[in-house]
Chains A and B, each alone.
Chain A
């Protein structure tokens, strides 16, 4: 038995991929066998799992899931597609965390920001020149939809406060604090520890400049609560925020969010 785009098909000894599948999806020009792209015609083996895609065609929701699943560690997809991740601030850290969450197929994202895309954001944030002036929430939803059109993306367009955070994010499974300002970073953690008890939380502090990569750490401060950064490198004149180091920290955050969702501690 073969599986071709999730449909069982009888296996015949000696059948070749391209010839055998021509009737199943005419015009297919991308072939993925057992999770790996195959560039030339191959002899199929009994039990092979094949995906046929037409280049340039947006895969269906089911196809998308199975294609993502193929490149993931087994068991990851089933969990992340049911998860809801909140992101407070979608600037340097938050825009990269959002893209990482979308790429692994996190089913539901709640993105909060009050700002618009400005030229000075483009040195590190996942926006494009033609989005200057757009609300970051709208621009990010547009970008994430191009990564994966089947995600549910909810937006909170406004300023968060220590008081409003627990209400806005009460339904998320894990929350990423990606604020720029130190006062809001502290407010976010206070809100989480007092009124979002038990939720996963990944904050940030110390991501500016271009100091040593390995000073960026993920530190556990409470059960399911972490802070990423070197805890010292503040954004200041002479120490700017740039894509490489902010990106290191953002992906520490993203991986920690994933680890919490998967039950790793």
Chain B
């Protein structure tokens, strides 16, 4: 199925969680802020958010240093 991630169409497996999707991008979910269909997702909910067809996802990834 297709979702839109950071304005780009992406093919993802049915039933994939937000947590798994971020891990598959080779990112540490703790370093990512996610907005799913306009809603900011709390970190503890990443594993419970199952992606739906046509979902609009915005991911903001942070790198260390300051």
Residue in A89, A185, A208, A236 with the greatest tally of chain B CB atoms within 10 Å: A185
Give 15 A-B contacts (CB < 8 Å), ordered by A residue. Answer: A92-B66, A180-B65, A182-B28, A183-B31, A186-B33, A187-B43, A190-B33, A190-B40, A193-B40, A203-B62, A206-B65, A207-B66, A208-B63, A233-B65, A235-B66
A235–B31 contact, CB under 8 A?
Answer: no
Do B43 and A180 have beta carbons less than 8 Å apart? no
Q: List residues of chain A with CB under 8 Å of any chain B CB.
A: 89, 91-94, 162, 178-183, 185-187, 189-190, 193-194, 203-208, 221, 227, 229, 231-236, 241, 246
Given contacts A186-B30, A186-B31, A190-B33, contact A181 B64 (CB under 8 A): yes
Report which of A178, A187, A194, A231 forms a contact with B63, defined as CB distance below 8 A: A231
Residues of the B chain whose Cβ atoms lie less than 8 Å from the Cβ of A181: 64
Q: Contact between A182 and B60 (Cβ–Cβ < 8 Å)?
A: no
Residues of A within 8 A of B64 (CB): 180-182, 185, 234-236
Interface bits B20-33 vs A (CB < 8 Å: 1, else 0): 00000000101111
| Interface size counted on chain B using CB atoms at 8 A | 15
List 10 A-B pairs, minimum CB-CB distance, nearest first: A235-B65, A234-B63, A185-B62, A182-B31, A208-B65, A182-B64, A183-B30, A182-B62, A193-B40, A93-B66
Question: CB-nearest residue of chain A relative to B30?
Answer: A183
